[in-house]
């Protein structure tokens, strides 16, 4: 019989990264979870803790699960409402988080051995604090996705493992808070590893994120404010620079995992690179996302007189052109122009080349004319589609907006709320929050109005960073935004394209989409007139507000219950 996946990570926790030897674990019973020769030196503790920052344990939520993303006519199982207990993302998420929990528990179980081996108390305490942080972070992610989960904080027998039940979320939340608090108490404010290892601020920020997602506004606000009051972090002056692979260190990073092409840990970029940039251009930002960016007066595009229907990137919040490639701009060494009649464009040397980024030339160019720009530059092409931007787990802008959101939800609105939002917004305009004439500063104090502003701000700020999914789940708007269609341009051969151009109508969006009271765009009027085409129709089922427990876990443990609807 196969060992329960909850326990397997505990048994293998002592095998470190490539730089760490894997001791012979067969010398001791598997249920003890550690070798008699391990955890006797500081290097062994360090290696075991470093092993818990592998990227697979910290994978961000996929943009394909959200309304910010289009992949031609393909839908993910999340966007198609077909998630089940065998969906690979679900299985991997469960297993990787429990793997992390098991390894963190092994560290905690061996702190006394470290003391007995002569490791100074202060260092053992730091190892314990980091392990508490990691365990809390992994449980936070599990609880957010699955609700009630199995709680393991020590070694259990195989027999007991097969009979363990899920612990109610209401009982788990205080346990996670307690682990974060132990981490906050014992972790340093700064480390020699920059933001790639846990710190006091990281524990505060991650506690705030967990509390916010649990709807505990008071705890979220307090934890976020504590992180802000450390005065350790600040916003990177340049929003665009923050995401470039040349930016390895930033005062905005609170927890971030470095990537390295040389060491084999990189981002495979070909899915989002342009056709001229040797990519496939099939992971694209959605029209919904583009329509969300406000104009430079802070108003939505259907209200602002600054919106130019002939140039959808003009007079928009600067983050729009830093996140999505503007038409006519140079991108990855070539002019980007998806216009259906633009058969040639210029490269960086001024030479004319065939425009493979127009569907009038190449049928598999971006189906909606949009490409991701955030963090992407010509170096991605030079590296052969292998990119090494830092994997950001949490950054200071998120702390500021979490603080503001929690205070808004409590209806405890004061100047600190407006300042938190304006600090993030003003950075996009390359100015300071108190220079209110240089950007559309937020001045509203009405709770509902501020809620809408805050949610739009988060969408503009964190696009393509893996946060949109948790936002639409937390705000309970997934049932709305994930029941809409993904839209794209008509195929150039369709006669309506020629009619639009001949009649002087904008070739991209012939009409301005309406933005509703929640900041969600509506393209149905354009579709009814035949100006655009639906690429796919997203579906949603409310059961997906929680994920299913992996089927194989329930098969081997009949005490595990399944979430409703699966």
Residue 35 has pLDDT above 70, yes or no: no
Q: Which of 7-11, 149-153, 543-547 has the lowest mean pLDDT?
A: 7-11
The strand ranges marked E within 263-402 are 267-268, 284-285, 330-331, 334-335, 344-346, 352-354, 386-387, 391-395
What integer pLDDT is reported at residue 497 of this predicted model?
76
Question: Which whole-number Å values give the CA distances from 519 to 269, 301, 305, 323, in the listed order?
Answer: 30, 10, 17, 18
DSSP strand E in 286-331: where?
330-331
Q: What pLDDT does 111 receive?
A: 97
Distances (CA, A) of 96 to 150, 266, 425, 536, 546: 14, 19, 35, 32, 18
Q: Where in the chain is the domain with CATH 1.25.40.390?
A: 8-230
Q: In this predicted structure, what is the pLDDT of residue 268?
A: 86
Please give the full DSSP string across 8-76, using - where no structure is assigned: HHHHTTT---TTS----GGGS-GGG-S-TTSSSSHHHHHHHHHGGG-GGGGPPPPGGGSTTEEBTTB--
Please write the tens of the pLDDT for every residue from 261-278.
888 888 888 999 999 999
Query: Nearest-5° angle of CA 274, CA 276, CA 281?
Result: 25
Mean pLDDT of 352-363: 95
pLDDT band at 157 (very low <50, low <70, confident <90, very high): confident
Quick count: other Cβ atoms within 10 Å of Cβ 64? 18
Which long-range contacts does 194-197 make (Cβ < 8 Å, 24+ apart)? 194/249, 194/253, 194/256, 195/249, 195/250, 195/253, 195/254, 195/255, 195/256, 196/53, 196/255, 196/256, 196/257, 196/258, 197/49, 197/50, 197/53, 197/130
Quickly state the pLDDT bin for 156 (edges 50, 70, 90): confident
Averaged pLDDT for residues 496-523: 88
- With 0.85 as the threshold, say if the pTM is over it: yes
Cβ within 8 Å of residue 76, ≥6 positions away: 62, 64, 65
Its CATH architecture, for the domain 8-230, is Alpha Horseshoe (1.25)
List Cβ neighbours of 6 (8 Å cut-off, separation of 6 or more): 98, 102, 150, 152, 161, 164, 553
Mind listing the pLDDT tens digit for each residue in 275-292? 999 999 999 999 999 999
* Separation between Cα atoms, residue 537 and residue 458, nearest integer Å: 25
Question: Does position 402 have pLDDT exceeding 80, yes or no?
Answer: yes
Across the range 199-204, mean pLDDT stands at 98
| CB atoms closer than 10 angstroms to residue 437 | 6
Taking the C-alpha atoms of residue 49 and residue 275, their distance in angstroms, rounded to an integer, is 41
Integer-rounded Cα radius of gyration of the chain: 25
Q: Which residues contact 129 (CB under 8 A, 6 or more apart)?
A: 182, 183, 185, 186, 187, 198
User: pLDDT digit string (tens) for 308-317?
Assistant: 999 999 999 9
pLDDT band, residue 361 (cuts 50/70/90): very high
């Amino acid at each position: 019989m196969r060992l329960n996946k909850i326990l397997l990570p505990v048994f293998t926790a002592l095998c470190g990264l490539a730089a760490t030897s894997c001791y012979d674990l067969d010398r001791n019973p598997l249920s003890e979870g550690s070798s008699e020769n391990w955890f006797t030196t500081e290097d062994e503790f360090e290696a075991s803790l470093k092993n818990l920052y592998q990227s697979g344990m910290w994978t961000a939520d996929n943009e394909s699960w959200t309304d910010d993303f289009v992949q031609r006519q393909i839908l993910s199982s999340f966007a198609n409402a077909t998630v089940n207990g065998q969906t690979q993302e679900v299985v991997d998420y469960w297993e990787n988080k429990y793997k992390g929990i098991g390894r963190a528990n092994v560290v905690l179980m061996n702190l006394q051995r470290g003391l007995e081996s002569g490791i100074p108390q202060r260092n053992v305490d730091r190892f314990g604090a980091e392990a508490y942080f990691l365990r809390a972070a992994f449980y936070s992610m599990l609880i957010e996705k699955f609700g009630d989960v199995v709680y393991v904080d020590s070694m259990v027998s195989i027999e007991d493992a097969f009979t363990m039940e899920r612990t109610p979320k209401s009982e788990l939340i205080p346990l996670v808070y307690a682990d974060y608090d132990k981490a906050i108490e014992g972790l340093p404010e700064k480390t020699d590893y920059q933001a790639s290892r846990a710190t006091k601020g990281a524990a505060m920020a991650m506690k705030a994120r967990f509390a916010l997602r649990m709807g505990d506004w008071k705890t979220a606000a307090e934890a976020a404010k504590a992180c802000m009051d450390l005065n350790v972090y600040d916003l990177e002056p340049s929003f665009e620079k923050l995401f470039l692979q040349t930016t390895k260190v930033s005062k905005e990073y609170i927890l971030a995992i470095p990537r390295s092409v040389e060491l084999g840990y990189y981002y495979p970029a070909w899915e989002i690179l342009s056709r001229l940039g040797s990519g496939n251009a099939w992971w694209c930002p959605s029209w919904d996302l583009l329509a969300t960016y406000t104009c430079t007066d802070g108003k939505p595009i259907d209200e602002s007189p600054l919106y130019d229907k002939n140039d959808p990137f003009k007079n928009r919040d600067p983050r729009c052109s830093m996140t999505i490639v503007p038409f006519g701009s140079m991108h990855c060494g070539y002019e980007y122009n998806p216009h259906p009649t633009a058969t040639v464009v210029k490269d960086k040397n001024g030479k004319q080349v065939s425009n493979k980024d127009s569907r009038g030339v190449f049928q598999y160019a971006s189906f909606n004319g949009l490409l991701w720009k955030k963090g992407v530059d010509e170096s991605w092409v030079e590296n052969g589609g292998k990119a090494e931007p830092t994997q950001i787990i949490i950054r200071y802008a998120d702390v500021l907006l979490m603080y503001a959101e929690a205070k808004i939800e409590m209806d405890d609105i004061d100047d600190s709320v407006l300042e938190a939002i304006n600090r993030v917004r003003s950075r996009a305009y390359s100015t300071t929050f108190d220079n209110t004439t240089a950007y559309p500063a937020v001045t509203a104090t009405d709770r509902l109005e501020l809620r809408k502003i805050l949610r739009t701000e988060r969408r503009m700020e964190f696009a393509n960073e893996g946060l949109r999914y948790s936002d639409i789940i937390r705000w309970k708007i997934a049932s709305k935004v994930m029941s809409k269609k993904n839209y794209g341009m008509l195929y150039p051969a369709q006669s309506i394209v020629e009619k639009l151009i001949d009649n002087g109508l904008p070739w991209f969006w012939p009409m301005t989409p309406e933005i509703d009271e929640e900041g969600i765009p509506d393209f149905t009027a354009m579709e009814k007139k035949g100006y655009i085409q639906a690429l796919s129709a997203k579906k949603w089922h409310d059961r997906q507000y929680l994920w299913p427990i992996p089927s194989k876990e329930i098969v081997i443990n009949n005490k595990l219950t399944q979430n409703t609807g699966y």
